[in-house]
Amino acid sequence: MEHYPVLLRESIELLDVQPDGIYVEATCGLGNHSRAIAAKLTTGKLYACDRDAESLAKARANSEEFVDRIEFVHVKFSDLQSEMKKRGVGRVNGVLADLGVSRYQLTSAERGFSFQNDGDLDMRMDRAEGQTAADIVNFTAERQLADWIYQLGEERSSRQIAAAILRARPIRSTLHLAGVIASATRRAGKLNPATKTFMALRQLVNEEPEELDALLTAAPLLTAPEGRIAMISFMSLEDRRVKRAFQALAREGRAEILTKHVVVPSDEEVYSNSASRSAKLRALRMLQ
């Protein structure tokens, strides 16, 4: 299974990797950005982190030639700072986070992230803990479900979708849910009618807004003066959170924003990897 790292060259350049530096990749996925960072290190070290243990195992297998430069860490954003402290890591030279879902997660039917194949409605990044998407769609009150779908998925048909879900309970699988959503919206266009609802459910299951806020708090505290923070987002809600957090750091005199204009993929990258089309990269340099 091939995975295309998004904005790889641009993010590594903005991270300004030093050969003897210490770096944290908060979302290593299958390890493509990790490999690019490790390739620039000599005496330095990378802590490649992810809350998905299955992706972490694949990243380790994909990075065997850099085993002396990478330490893989199973951790979510809200525990990142304490985990680094446990490992004796002080302030680092850079933090990178790619906030997207990996191709491996999307194409593994049993993970339940996608409606491309039928599978259990799971959607957990860490399958060892937490509620599943099935728990949410089958046991949440209609109004609350509609509010979540609207707020996190920016889905204007959230009321109709929530009502249809309640009528169809129990929802048994990803394709069952996708069919219920399609019947409620009957919307034509390139975007599958289920896309926004699935996106909202994934965020709910993994508490993504809260976890991102935790990362945006931890990253500046982890990063030393002159160190860099780079973040790649794929959803407008995420990008707005990153943008506002970076602007606040700049106003406080704690950081300098390096991306006055958000960095997006080139036409060539979008042509070779259409999934990159919504990616946005922002970076800053810590001053204190």
**What is the reported pTM?**
0.93
The answer, yes or no, to whether residue 1 has pLDDT greater than 60, is no
187 with 241, same domain: the answer is no
With vertex at residue 139, the alpha carbon angle to CA 138 and CA 140, rounded to the nearest 5 degrees, is: 110
What does the pLDDT read at residue 253? 98
Domain termination site, one of 205, 237, 252: 205
* Together in a domain, 28 and 76: yes
Task: Give me the pLDDT at residue 186, please.
Answer: 72
Is residue 201 domain-shared with residue 221, that is, in the same domain? no
Domain count, the chain: 2
> 226, 219, 215, 230: which is closest to 14 by C-alpha?
230
The reply to whether 35 and 165 lie within a common domain is no
pLDDT in tens, 203-236: 999 999 999 999 999 999 999 999 999 999 999 9
- Given a contact cutoff of 8 angstroms between Cβ atoms, the answer to whether 38 and 70 are in contact is yes
Alpha-carbon gap, residue 220 to 255, rounded angstroms: 9
Residue 131 maps to a domain: yes
Tens digit of pLDDT for each residue in 45-75? 999 999 999 999 999 999 999 999 999 999 9
Kindly state the average pLDDT of the residues 177-186. Answer: 92
* DSSP code of residue 278: T
My answer on whether 60 and 195 are in the same domain is no
- With bands split at pLDDT 50, 70 and 90, how would you rate the model's confidence at 188? low
Angstrom distance (rounded) from CA 171 to CA 226: 51
**Are 98 and 228 members of one domain?**
yes
* Domain harbouring 148, CATH code: 1.10.150.170
CATH code, 59: 3.40.50.150
How high does pLDDT run on average in the chain?
A: 94
In a domain, 112, yes or no: no
- Other Cβ atoms less than 10 A from the Cβ of 171: the count is 19
> Domain range for residue 47?
8-104+208-286
CB 120 within 8 A of CB 254: no
| Among candidate residues 205, 226, 248, the one where a domain is terminated | 205
CB 190 within 8 A of CB 278: no
Final residue before a domain boundary, out of 205, 230, 265 = 205
Q: Could you tell me if 66 and 38 are in contact, meaning their C-beta atoms sit under 8 angstroms apart?
A: yes
Q: Tell me: do 201 and 67 sit in the same domain.
A: no
Q: Residue 108 is encoded by which pair of tokens?
A: 């593994």
The residue type found at 106 is L
Q: Which residue has the tokens 């266009």?
A: 189
Residue 108 pLDDT: 85
Please say whether the beta carbons of 284 and 249 come within 8 A.
Answer: yes
Residue 62 is assigned to a structural domain of this protein = yes
The answer to the question of residue 135 being in a domain is: yes
